[in-house]
């Protein structure tokens, strides 16, 4: 257990400073540009950008090439800067941590002057705000709104039911799935998963403990001097199985899901996978093209 905590701590440091952080933000940024290009003449649509884990907006981290400290701008910051061919009509930035939300507000005011754009910073749970957004999009006013959302959790904060409530709505959702850094760590090799960890897995995947165990584990029998011994063994390539399972789950909610983009740390360990889910086929194609160029 202690080793797991150390590994998570190391990966979180990479999250805030690693080169792959810029890569995932760059993918979403390029998609936002393409999205706004398509929507440039469709003024009858109100466009909303939703960021579920906005952070402080500006993060200082160690540049892996120069070894100097470098400022990195969040996806929200970069997307707010887009003015041509059109900008979003509203930006809804969610950050649960109140201190970070305050820093985000200060950083945005110093760089953009919030009064010039409709930027809202909300210090609440992203799960709750996703549910609230789903209700809004189903309302009379919301039916005139299209959403580009980026849900970029630090770990396993997103519940499946929060994704499920978006079914059938006008939303393109980029989601960062904590495959290696989160889900796979809870899937213990011997299948002896604590109740606390199993509850987290059930919430994240929207599946029962039985289905989770049947999918990720198998029973094996070993012949020994003392006879046959039955034991539980974790399936090989468990991270790939997580991605495949989650993509299939997303396909039950959205008509189109992109290929996953694999994010690794400096040691080559798989940490996250980034996917787009949408009800628009063109969205899937654009996402796949951007991901292909990054691979």
Residues 128, 132, 137, 138, CA torsion sign? positive
Q: Which of 46-55, 179-188, 221-230 has the lowest mean pLDDT?
A: 221-230
Residue 230 has pLDDT above 70, yes or no: no
Q: What is the pLDDT of residue 4?
A: 36
pTM as predicted: 0.88
Mean pLDDT value of segment 145-170: 96
Rounded-to-integer distance, Cα 146 and Cα 144, Å: 7
Mean pLDDT across the stretch 43-58? 93
Contact 183, 156 (CB under 8 A): yes
5 has a pLDDT exceeding 50: no
2-188+237-294: CATH topology = Rossmann fold (3.40.50)
**Confidence at residue 262, expressed as pLDDT on a 0 to 100 scale:** 95
Distance CA 280, CA 292 (A): 19
Q: Where are the domains of the chain?
A: 2-188+237-294
Using alpha carbons, list the distances in angstroms from residue 134 to 147, 153, 258, 263.
10, 19, 21, 29
Residue closest to 54 by CA, chosen among 122, 138, 142: 122
Q: Is the pLDDT of residue 16 over 60?
A: no
Residue entry with tokens 């499946």 = 160
SS3 category, 204: helix
Q: Which positions ≥6 away from 84 have C-beta within 8 Å?
A: none
- Alpha helices (H) along the chain: 2-17, 19-38, 75-80, 98-112, 126-138, 160-164, 184-186, 195-205, 209-216, 238-251, 281-294
pLDDT tens figures, 103-139: 999 988 887 665 578 999 999 999 999 999 999 999 9
- Rounded CA-CA distance 101/121 in Å is 7
Token pair in block for residue 233 = 């063994």
Confidence of residue 22 (pLDDT cuts 50, 70, 90): confident
* More confident: 194 or 111: 194
**pLDDT (mean) for 81-105:** 94
């Amino acid at each position: 257990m202690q080793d797991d905590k150390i590994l998570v701590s190391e990966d979180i440091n990479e999250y805030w400073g690693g080169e792959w952080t810029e890569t995932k933000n760059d993918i979403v940024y390029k998609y936002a540009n393409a999205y706004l290009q398509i929507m440039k003449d469709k003024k009858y649509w109100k466009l909303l950008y939703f960021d579920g884990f906005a952070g402080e907006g500006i993060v200082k981290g160690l540049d892996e090439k120069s070894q100097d400290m470098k400022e990195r701008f969040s996806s929200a910051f970069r997307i707010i800067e887009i003015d041509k061919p059109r900008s979003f009509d509203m930006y809804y930035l969610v950050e649960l941590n109140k201190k970070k939300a305050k820093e985000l507000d200060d950083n945005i005011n110093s760089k953009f002057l919030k009064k010039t754009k409709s930027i809202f910073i909300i210090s609440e749970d992203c799960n709750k705000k996703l549910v609230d957004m789903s209700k809004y999009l189903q309302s009379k006013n919301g039916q005139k709104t299209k959403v580009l959302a980026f849900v970029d959790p630090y770990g396993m904060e997103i519940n499946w039911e929060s994704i499920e409530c978006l079914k059938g709505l006008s939303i393109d959702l980029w989601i960062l799935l904590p495959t290696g850094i989160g889900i796979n760590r809870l899937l213990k090799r011997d299948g002896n998963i604590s109740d606390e960890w199993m509850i987290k897995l059930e919430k994240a995947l929207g599946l029962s403990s039985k289905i989770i165990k049947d999918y990720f584990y198998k029973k094996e029998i070993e012949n020994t001097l003392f006879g046959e011994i039955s034991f539980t063994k974790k399936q090989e390539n468990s991270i790939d199985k997580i991605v495949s399972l989650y993509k299939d789950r997303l396909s039950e909610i959205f008509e189109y899901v992109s290929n996953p983009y694999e994010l690794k740390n400096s040691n080559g360990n798989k940490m996250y996978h980034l996917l787009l889910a949408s009800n628009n086929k063109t969205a899937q194609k654009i996402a796949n093209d951007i991901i292909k160029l990054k691979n």
